[in-house]
Structure 1
Amino acid sequence: MPNQSLTSNITLVLFHNDLRVTDNATLSKAANLSSNGQLLLVYAPSLTDTLDKKVSQQVYHYDTMGQARQRFLSESLAALDASLMQLGNKLLYLQNNVATSDTFTQLNELIQQQSVTDICVSQTADYNQNQVYKCLQEQNPQVCWHVQTTATLFDKLPLDELPKSFTAFRKKTESNYDLLQAKEDIVNCPTPKSLPPMPENLRDSHEYFFAAQAFNEPSQQPPDWKGGEKSGLEHLDAYFDSDAPSIYKTTRNALDDWTHSTKLSAWLANGSLSVNMVLNRLRRYERDIIANESTYWIWFELLWREYFYWYAIAHQQKLFWFKGIAQHLPPTQFDHKRLAQWKNGTTQYPIVNACMNQLKSTGYMSNRGRQLVASCLVHELGLDWRYGAIYFEQQLIDYDVASNWGNWQYLAGVGADPRGCRQFNLNKQTQQYDPNGEFIRKWQGEV
């Protein structure tokens, strides 16, 4: 039955890419709004699937999420659920059910049945997710929406307009804001000491309660790479307690070593880790240990992430267009056989095959590997870049809509790269990054 309380708020948090309780302005806002009321904490995957025909011009969807990405997400949600239970509430998990209804319909029904007064969400660069929010608002005009910033260094675009290139964005941002050199830490949003309860008629119902997913195959990821806020914070500490940040620039292009890059991307991507906490640790490392070109390069990569976020906000659905933001028609096409070879690691390029096999097994690929396989798909195989982007969306545990699609546009010559298409010499790259063939042998790149 609908909750008939007229004197207290019924607040709903719709988690998306903010799966944490620490430094989460959205959860903090919801806790304050519902301090004398009740609180629903909801995760609803596949919301955009229901509205694809309405909100998206994409025709190149994947059928299932890769197992590595699904495992990392399930671990992250289990960790979030555990944290919420410690604070006195619980995660409600909506899932598509052929016998009942899709997650969008379930969410709508939950809002109406519980007489939700307020909905709290985090700002996102995901165009399709924002269209879902728009549809929810249209169908529930009585509900007050609250949008918080949880994923970026800046609450809004830090410049008057987004520059056409990253270099211009970096130079202007660094000139106007001294984020890296600031002496004081960024103040994190306080973590609620407790949370208001969920509505009473849901407390004994197991229909929506989250249950961690079981996986038949053992994980091929490093043991430290586990989803969830606790794991992310532990890795953040371990990384900056080591010497790795001081040599990051010289090691970051390694194809297959856990310590050679920060490996923070997966926790940042689903919001298990706050970017402000990463920047605070980087600042402290520079103050207490060393500030050099390598530590600056970590900041450089955080700025790339920031640039693509605002890039996705600025260009919206153009992020998915074949011609990209440049409105330049690439000389590529769709070829099912070649695409299958690329996905399955059976091309004539061993380094590409090894990278693709690594991706399918672990859900991860180095930055250098991503550039090589993208260049191969676009240039050597002559394929539509969007099919590469959507396959990465399926497989990558650190999938981020803005960084993924922005980088693919960049490599395909239809995005923010002022130099146009970037093609890598795969033989030369192999000699440089895998001269003894160890990586290729490990990931069975030879066909």
Structure 2
Amino acid sequence: MLSQPADNYSDKSADKKVSLVLFHNDLRIDDNATLLKAATLASANNGRLLCVYAQDLADTLADKKKGQDYSFKQMGAARQQFLYESLADLDKSLQGLGNRLLFLTAKAETLLEDSAAESDTFAQLCQLIEQQAVTDICVSQTADYNQNQAYTILQNKYPQISWHVQSINTLFMTLPTEELPKSFTQFRKKVETNHDLLKAESDFEICPTSKVLPPMPDAMINSMANSDKYFSANQKIAEKAQQEPDFKGSKTFKGGETNAFRHLNEYFNSDAPSTYKTTRNALDDWTHSTKFSAWLANGSLSVKVLLNRLRHYERDVMANESTYWIWFELLWREYFYWYALNHQQQLFWFKGIAQHEPTTCFDKIRLEQWQNGATSYPIVNACMHQLTQTGYMSNRGRQLVASCFIHELGLDWRYGASYFEQHLIDYDVGSNWGNWQYLAGVGADPRGCRQFNLSKQTQQYDPKGEFIKKWQGNKTD
């Protein structure tokens, strides 16, 4: 895990600082203490600021270190589109503050000065750090084990660089209990007893947004006067973000902080929060669940900003069981964040944190049937078609297809979790892998495996077969 000293840098006041903020799941300028920290450091003695997003940074190193056979390497079209939209929006916001986002990707041409540079993003990032004489690196705390491994390797490679870690993506800066409880219920009860966040009179304090950012290093600014080579990838990302996707992506899911705030306002200006508990299990309706998960997952939306809006709704409009249930779901997200941070690599083990070996196995044919929506279960097929064509699936749908994967098909749960990672636009390492462990009986549920009666669930949630018909669940060829 990445070490997290509060400020592990020596006094370099006599030197011009070059601060680098390495974006990951914090793609916003609002309530972003990591960006503010980097800007503050760079402001010392007229320093400079680099804003960088390195795609697949952790994956490159993870593949070399772990060799996970169950990983699906290529990101799904819908998830990639949502990421492009989010990065394009972030770049636009940074330009409005006097800086730019440098996007490093192995899929693009080499962006740095040395034409012989390696193509993977880790090598590109190292070259950038060395060329621009970076003195400080700022990152947001993450529960992503592989990302933390990459950070640790960078720290060891450049011991002279000062690292600064901010906690910006959770409700609590540190684990809110003495130790992580073995179940969510225990966690929730302890948190609600000791931390009355939902009913607190005052809002969460939100980190101020910079009015202006320090500029990029002079060499990059001078280079941009003659060419845009440093940011050629940004133009490609912006173009792709504006394209109509060739999959059936919902236009309502649009990546980026701007769209996150638009949805936040629309949702809490409607009656939807007051009926959430009764509608949240719907399989295919935009208004029946909050739909905040995608923007929360890549950090386009701050969970603290979201909770403040929920509090206002309860105070100014209505507080009922449904509004409480939104808080309940945020606690689930919080629990799985600390779950992933606590258990680290065990999140990906076949035996899970419970060290219980499932009776499932790998079967290529059954796996492909599940992926392609060609099983004997129409409700599962429909959900899988929805996932691959939109990058989204309801919470109820996820439970049904995971239960089928593990129990009816008898497959290794890690392949299912990895396939979700590939396609879900709201992929979150803790929530995804924690929930799959939960359903496989190797995680946080003390009652063991969860198996759903697919026939009964179909009658309950799609009694007229409308969802199955829309997503062609009966078509298995």
- After TM superposition, the score normalised by the length of structure 2 is 0.91
2:73 is matched with which residue? 63
1:306 is matched with which residue? 334
Gaps of 5+ in 1: none
In 2, Cα distance between equivalents of 1:151 and 1:57: 29
The amino acid of 2:296's aligned partner reads L
Question: Are 2:440 and 2:449, in contact at CA under 8 Å, matched by a contact in 1?
Answer: yes
Q: Give the alignment's Cα RMSD to 1 decimal.
A: 1.4
1:193 is matched with which residue? 211
2:386 is matched with which residue? 358
Deviation at 1:127, TM superposition (A): 0.3
1:220 is matched with which residue? 248
The amino acid of 1:192's aligned partner reads S
Partner SS for 1:51 = helix
The amino acid of 2:324's aligned partner reads Y
Deviation at 1:6, TM superposition (A): 6.1
1:87 is matched with which residue? 97
In 2, Cα distance between equivalents of 1:208 and 1:177: 46
1:26 is matched with which residue? 34
Q: Deviations over 1:111-137 (max 9, x none)?
A: 111110000000000000000000000
The amino acid of 1:297's aligned partner reads W
Deviation at 1:170, TM superposition (A): 0.2
Deviation at 1:202, TM superposition (A): 1.2
Equivalences for residues 45-444 of structure 1 within 5 A: 45-53=55-63, 55-56=65-66, 58-96=68-106, 100-101=117-118, 102-203=120-221, 204=224, 206-209=228-231, 210-211=234-235, 212=237, 213-214=239-240, 217-218=245-246, 220-444=248-472
The amino acid of 1:114's aligned partner reads Q
In 1, Cα distance between equivalents of 2:28 and 2:294: 13
In 2, Cα distance between equivalents of 1:64 and 1:53: 13
In 2, Cα distance between equivalents of 1:357 and 1:219: 11
Deviation at 1:63, TM superposition (A): 2.6
In 1, Cα distance between equivalents of 2:249 and 2:430: 24
- After TM superposition, the score normalised by the length of structure 1 is 0.97
Question: Are 2:20 and 2:137, in contact at CA under 8 Å, matched by a contact in 1?
Answer: yes
Question: Are 1:14 and 1:121, in contact at CA under 8 Å, matched by a contact in 2?
Answer: yes
In 1, Cα distance between equivalents of 2:454 and 2:462: 11
Question: Are 2:81 and 2:245, in contact at CA under 8 Å, matched by a contact in 1?
Answer: no
Partner SS for 1:120 = strand
Partner SS for 1:64 = coil
Deviation at 1:54, TM superposition (A): 5.1
Tell me how many residue pairs correspond in the alignment: 443
Question: Are 1:224 and 1:231, in contact at CA under 8 Å, matched by a contact in 2?
Answer: no
The amino acid of 2:27's aligned partner reads L
Deviation at 1:56, TM superposition (A): 3.2
The amino acid of 1:152's aligned partner reads T
Partner SS for 2:473 = coil
In 1, Cα distance between equivalents of 2:459 and 2:420: 25
Partner SS for 2:230 = coil
The amino acid of 1:119's aligned partner reads I
Partner SS for 2:229 = coil
After the TM superposition, which parts of structure 1 deviate over 4 Å for at least 4 consecutive aligned residues? none
Deviation at 1:57, TM superposition (A): 5.7
Deviation at 1:58, TM superposition (A): 2.6
2:20 is matched with which residue? 12
In 2, Cα distance between equivalents of 1:318 and 1:195: 40
In 1, Cα distance between equivalents of 2:39 and 2:247: 36
Question: Are 1:378 and 1:412, in contact at CA under 8 Å, matched by a contact in 2?
Answer: yes
In 2, Cα distance between equivalents of 1:57 and 1:301: 33
Deviation at 1:62, TM superposition (A): 1.1
Question: Are 1:24 and 1:189, in contact at CA under 8 Å, matched by a contact in 2?
Answer: yes
Deviation at 1:49, TM superposition (A): 2.9
